[in-house]
């Protein structure tokens, strides 16, 4: 037990319409100097300093992907960025969005990159292959996607690219989708049916970190074709496991993957199919991306993120 930490459990339900009033009452007894709100909506009436983390502004850029309840909650973002004392952005791209879309002064924002869980690392391929075969009934070398199943992840385009790969290259590999169902996920099921991919796409649902590391290690590649990300951890997790990666060519990805992944226009389904085919066929390209990916992922650690976050706390309290 670390005596620098104490846990306080609260009753307040997150994202609830009573969150603000209930949280204000519950926090009074804690005598806080500062509250860090990693979901970026802080208590607006408070007697302590506030730091929030903004992961992305997808709800502003892609409002059509939001449910009515999510739009209500995240619609508080303007008041949140004005109310808080300091903002942590998880990428330079997110910082630029905060400045451009919400008019936040640059001096109020600190960029702190997310880290990669050290559980993700290369493991013996025979062990990984045996695990995914026993646990999920999967043959190794599958094409892999993992994240919340929601519209901005662009999974219908991935499915269409996979259909192209099946039709034009006759590839036998399965496409494996892992992750919880988010809002408006129904389009994914509909697209699988429409493209007649029921026998070639495997939906795993949510999987535990200890299982994900085996999936990364057994996969032939990770394909991550999002329309928008504030950061994007799965590409780094896959790289840390020695798995080559394809990502969409969007603003944040050069910050995350550097030159250690293939980048494809998220609107170009055929180009995505061609990129997947290249990774399946070109062993030299695979080896090059694996080597670069391992080096790139090593630059992102939660220990470094924690040090930088603590520095923000101290600066905010002292100011």
pLDDT for the residue numbered 237: 98
Give the burial string for 192-218 (b: 16+ CB within 10 Å, else e): beebebeebbeebeebeeebbbbbbbb
Name which CATH class applies to 19-115+302-318.
alpha beta
- How high does pLDDT run on average in the chain? 94
Residue 105's pLDDT band (cuts 50, 70, 90): very high
pLDDT for the residue numbered 13: 83
pLDDT for the residue numbered 2: 67
Whole-structure pTM value = 0.91
Architecture of domain 125-297: 3-Layer(aba) Sandwich (3.40)
pLDDT for the residue numbered 217: 98
- Residue intervals of the chain classified under CATH 3.40.50.2000 are 19-115+302-318, 125-297
pLDDT for the residue numbered 1: 57
Which residues, other chains included, contact 288 with Cβ-Cβ below 8 Å and sequence gap of 6+?
A: none
Checking if the pLDDT of 103 tops 90, the result is yes
Q: Which strands, in side-by-side order, build the sheet including 175-178?
A: 201-205, 175-178, 143-146, 221-224, 245-248, 262-264
**Cα–Cα dist 16/81, whole Å:** 19
Residue 97's pLDDT band (cuts 50, 70, 90): very high
Residue 299's pLDDT band (cuts 50, 70, 90): very high
Checking if the pLDDT of 82 tops 90, the result is yes
């Amino acid at each position: 037990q670390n005596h620098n930490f104490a846990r306080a459990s609260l009753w307040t339900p997150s994202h609830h319409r009573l969150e603000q009033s209930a949280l204000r009452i519950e926090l009074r007894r804690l005598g806080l100097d500062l509250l860090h709100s990693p979901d970026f909506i802080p208590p607006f009436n408070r007697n302590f300093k506030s730091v929030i983390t903004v992961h992305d502004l997808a709800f502003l850029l892609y409002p059509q992907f939001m449910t009515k309840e999510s739009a209500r909650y995240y619609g508080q973002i303007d008041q949140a960025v004005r109310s808080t004392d300091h903002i942590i952005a998880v990428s330079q791209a997110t910082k630029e969005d905060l400045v451009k879309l919400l008019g936040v002064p640059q001096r109020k924002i600190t960029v702190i990159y997310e880290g990669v869980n050290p559980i993700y690392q290369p493991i013996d391929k025979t062990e990984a292959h045996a695990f995914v075969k026993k646990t999920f009934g999967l043959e190794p070398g599958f094409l892999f996607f993992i994240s919340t199943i929601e519209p901005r992840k662009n999974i219908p385009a991935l499915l269409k690219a996979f259909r192209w790969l099946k039709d034009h290259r006759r590839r036998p590999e399965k496409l494996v989708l892992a992750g919880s169902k988010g809002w408006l996920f129904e389009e994914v099921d509909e697209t699988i049916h429409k493209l007649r991919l029921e026998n070639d796409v495997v939906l795993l649902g949510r999987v535990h970190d200890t299982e994900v590391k085996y999936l990364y290690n057994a996969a032939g590649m990770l394909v991550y074709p999002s329309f928008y990300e504030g950061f994007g951890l799965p590409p780094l997790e896959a790289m840390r496991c020695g798995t080559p990666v394809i990502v969409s060519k969007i603003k944040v990805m050069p910050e995350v993957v550097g030159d250690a992944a293939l980048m494809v226009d998220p609107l170009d389904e055929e180009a995505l199919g061609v990129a997947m085919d290249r990774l399946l066929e070109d062993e030299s390209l695979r080896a090059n991306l694996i080597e670069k990916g391992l080096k790139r992922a090593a630059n992102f650690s939660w220990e470094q993120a924690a040090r930088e976050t603590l520095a923000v706390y101290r600066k905010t309290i002292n100011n």
